[in-house]
Amino acid sequence: MPIVSAAYRVFRSSPLFAEKRATLAMAFTTSDAPAAPGLKITTPALPPPSPPSSPPSPLLMDFLTADEIAKTKEESRAASNKGRNNQREKAGEADDSKKTHKTKKQTKNKKQMNKGQECGADEVRITPVAAIWPPPYYFEDNLRRVRPYHWTYNTYCKERWRGKTLMEVFVSEFRDRPAEYYRMTMEKGDIFINGKSVGPDHVIQNGDLVSHTMHRHEPPVTAEPIGIIHEDNDMIVINKPSGVPVHPAGRYKFNSVLEIMMAERGPLFRPYPCNRLDRLTSGIMFVAKSVQAADKLGNQIKARTVRKEYVARVVGEFPEGDVVCDQPILSISPKLGLNRVRANGKSARTAFKRLAYYPPTATAAAADDVHDSSGSEKEKDSGDKGHNDNGNSDEDVKGRPWATKRGYSIVRCLPVTGRTHQIRVHLQYLGHPIQNDPIYANQRVWGVDLGHHDADGTLTSDEDVITRLSRMGKEEAAEAVVYYDDMIERYEKQCAEKMTGETCSVCDTPLYSDPGMHELSLWLHSLRYEDADGAWAYESELPRWALPPEGMAGPTRVGGMEELVQAVKGMEDVEAQAVEGVQQEEEVQAAQ
C-alpha cells in the first residue's frame, strides 16, 4: 500500500477535503451519461488521464490545484513544527535531539515515497493515492483496452527473503519476467529498498520495504457491458461478461469487474463481491454495497442454502435423463490451477441434464457463426470411401477417438459442492468436456482420451499433464479447443494471444497480440441463483452460444431447478438405502 504523507493526512482533516469530496460525489451522482459500452460517468471537474508515456502524477489527489497544494504543504509544515515544539517541552535536550533526528529521517522517507516520478535516482517512485483517475480506458475492435501506465508494487520483506540478495528474491518469487528484465530495472532505478535505489546484490533484511515501479500493459477484455439484473440498497446482481476477471490479479487491474464498476459509478463506490466466477466464465454474480450485506449472503452460500445452476456447451451427444457425477476432485497443481478426478481428492457432486443436442449439420452453421468471421464452410461427404458414419476416416478415429463425438449438447449443471473447476472436471471425466475449454478439452495436455474415466491416472499421469501444460508458451497458439474433424481447421485460423516480436519503447516489455476468441470466452454460464426456501431467485438470459443455431429448433429458456434437485435427492436416497442395507447385513453377521 502506498505510504501517505503528513501533508495528505492534514488535507484529509481540512474543510477543503470535505468540499472536494462533495464536489466529486456530485459529479458522479448527477451524471446522465449513457450506459455501456462506454463509461456511465462524466467527469468535467477532473483532468484527462495522462498519456501512456508520461509518469504518474506526483500529487496525492489529482483534483487539487497548485494553490491548494501549496496551502496543504504549509499546513503540514506548521503541524510538524508544532509537534516538535511540544516534544521539546516534554523531554530533555538529549532525548529531544534523538527524536528530532528520527523525525527528520521518517519525514524525509515519507516525502520520497510520495514524490512520484519527479524523484531523482536515489528516491523511490511510488504511485500516489488516486493518481490514476479516471482509469485510462478506450474502446477499439470490440475490446475494452487500457493505455499503458506506471504502477508501483510495495511489499515488506518476508521471512524466507531474509539474507537473500534482491536479485535472488525477484528471480525466485516473481517469475513472470526474465532475470535480465529485473537486472535492467534495478540498474535503471525502478526497484527500491526503503526508498533508496539499490543494486541487484543488495541483501534484504527484516522490515525492509521493497518497491517496484512498472510500466503496466494490461490485456484487453471484451467491450460487452456488465449487465444489471437487479439492484437495491444492499446488493447488485450483475451478468458478468466472459473473459473479464472479477478481482485485479496478475496482468489485470483496471480490466476487472470491480474496477470497471468503480469507474462507472465513481471513486466513492466500494464493491464487495459475494461469489466468485473464473475469468472465462460468464453469468450471475452478486456484488454487495456493504460488508454487512456481503457477509449475509456469503454465510448463506457457505451454509448451502443457496442453489445455483449453470449451463454448458459440451462436445458430443450428452446422455438423456438425469446424470449425477460424484467423483472426488484433487488439485494436482495449485500453481497452475489444475484439477482432475482422483480417488484421494475432495468429495464433489454435480447433477447434469441435457437441455438440447444439435447434430453435425447444425454444428457447422454454429461454428461459422461463432468462430469463422469469413463465413467459409467446408462440408465433408460422409459417404466417402474410408470414412465411418460420422464422416471421419478410420485412421483419424484410431488416432483421435474424441473425433467420433460429433455435434454438441447444451447441458444444465447443478453443482452440489463447490470445488474449483468442478463442473469442467466432471464433464471431462464423463467424456463430454466443454467444447472450447482451453485446459480440460486440450488434447495436447490430456492426450487423445482427454481424461475420460481416467480416475487412477493410468492413461495420463499427473506429472505428464503438469509438464505439458507448463510447456505451453505464449509464442505458439495452443490447441486449446479439441474440436472434432470439421472444426479443427476453423480453430487453427483463430489468433491466440502470443508474442508479436515487438517491445515497448518505454519499458522494453515484449508486446502481445490481441487475445483469440477462445481466450475471451468459455462456454460455461452461471444461469440462476435461488434461495432454497424460495425467498428470492435471479436468472439471466441464455447466452448466444446456448441458443439454437440458425434454421434449427431448440429451447430458448430453461425451466426450474426442481428436476435437477430431485435427481440429486434420488441419488442420496439410494446411497442412504445402500448404507442401511450394509449396516443390517453387518448386524446379522454379528448376531450369528
Q: Which three cell numbers stand for residue 430?
A: 464423463
> Is residue 278 flagged as an active site residue?
yes
The answer to whether residue 547 scores a pLDDT higher than 90 is yes
Query: Is 184 within a domain?
Result: yes
CA distance 453 to 469: 20
Statement to judge: residues 198 and 278 lie in one domain = no
Nearest alpha carbon to residue 239 among 231, 249, 248, 251: 231
Per-residue burial over 552-591, b = 16 or more CB atoms within 10 Å of its CB, e = otherwise: eeeeeebeebeebbebbeebeeeeeeeeeeeeeeeeeeee
Q: Which of 278, 322, 462, 464 is catalytic?
A: 278
CA distance 506 to 215: 8
Query: Domain range for residue 273?
Result: 230-303
Q: At which of 171, 195, 222 does a domain end?
A: 222
Q: Which three cell numbers stand for residue 366?
A: 454454429
Statement to judge: residues 133 and 253 lie in one domain = no
The answer to whether residue 28 scores a pLDDT higher than 90 is no
CATH code of 257's domain: 3.30.2350.10
Share of the chain above pLDDT 90, in %: 36
CA distance 403 to 488: 10
At 463, is the pLDDT very low, low, confident or very high (cuts 50, 70, 90)?
A: confident
Q: Which three cell numbers stand for residue 162?
A: 531474509
Q: How many helices (H) and strands (E) does the chain have?
A: 15, 21
HEC string for 19-69:
HHHHHHHHHHHCCCCCCCCCCCCCCCCCCCCCCCCCCCCCCCCCCCCHHHH
Give the mean pLDDT of 172-189: 84
CA distance 229 to 541: 10
Helix crossing, 66-90 with 15-29: angle to 10°? 140
SS3 content of the chain, % helix, strand, coil (to 5): 35, 20, 45
Higher local confidence (pLDDT), 478 or 546: 546
Statement to judge: residues 205 and 314 lie in one domain = no
Statement to judge: residues 258 and 138 lie in one domain = no
Q: What is the DSSP letter of 476?
A: S
pLDDT digits (tens, 9 = 90+) for 425-459: 999 999 999 999 988 988 888 777 777 877 767 77
Higher local confidence (pLDDT), 378 or 194: 194
Give the count of beta carbons closer than 10 Å to the beta carbon of residue 395: 9
Query: Is 546 within a domain?
Result: yes
Query: Is 89 within a domain?
Result: yes
Phi, psi angle pair for 219, to nearest 5°: -65, 145
Per-range mean pLDDT, top range of 422-426, 520-524, 579-583: 422-426
Helix crossing, 360-371 with 485-492: angle to 10°? 0
pLDDT attached to residue 409: 96
Give the mean pLDDT of 140-163: 92
Query: Is 186 within a domain?
Result: yes
Predicted structure pTM score: 0.65
Parallel/antiparallel/unpaired status of strands 524-531 and 282-288:
parallel
Q: Which three cell numbers stand for residue 459?
A: 492413461
Statement to judge: residues 500 and 547 lie in one domain = yes
The single residue listed with the C-alpha cell 425451466 is 559
CA distance 28 to 15: 21
Statement to judge: residues 266 and 169 lie in one domain = no
Statement to judge: residues 234 and 363 lie in one domain = no
Do 454 and 464 form a contact (C-beta atoms < 8 A)? Answer: no
Statement to judge: residues 167 and 293 lie in one domain = no
DSSP string, 304-368: T-EEEEEEEEEES-PPSSEEEE---EEEEETTTTEEEE-TTSB---EEEEEEEEE-HHHHHHHHH
Beta bridge partners of 226: none
pLDDT digits (tens, 9 = 90+) for 319-332: 998 999 999 999 98
CA distance 534 to 306: 10
CA distance 114 to 34: 36
Domain total of the chain: 3
CA distance 412 to 527: 9
Do 311 and 527 form a contact (C-beta atoms < 8 A)? Answer: yes
Query: Is 534 within a domain?
Result: no
Before 134, cis peptide (omega within 30)? yes
Statement to judge: residues 239 and 166 lie in one domain = no
Per-range mean pLDDT, top range of 20-34, 105-119, 457-471: 457-471
Query: Is 47 within a domain?
Result: yes
pLDDT attached to residue 108: 46
Q: Give the dihedral sign, CA 514/468/372/520.
A: negative
Q: At which of 189, 222, 255 does a domain end?
A: 222
Lowest mean pLDDT among 24-33, 73-82, 558-567: 24-33
Statement to judge: residues 399 and 276 lie in one domain = no
Do 293 and 272 form a contact (C-beta atoms < 8 A)? Answer: yes
Arithmetic mean of pLDDT over the chain: 73
Statement to judge: residues 524 and 391 lie in one domain = yes
Do 238 and 251 form a contact (C-beta atoms < 8 A)? Answer: no
pLDDT digits (tens, 9 = 90+) for 329-369: 999 888 778 899 998 999 999 999 999 999 987 555 444 44
Give the count of beta carbons closer than 10 Å to the beta carbon of residue 12: 15
Statement to judge: residues 286 and 327 lie in one domain = no
Q: At which of 303, 327, 353 does a domain end?
A: 303
Share of the chain above pLDDT 70, in %: 60
pLDDT attached to residue 89: 59
Query: Is 535 within a domain?
Result: no
Query: Is 1 within a domain?
Result: no
List CB contacts of 300: < 8 A, sequence separation 6 or more: 306, 531
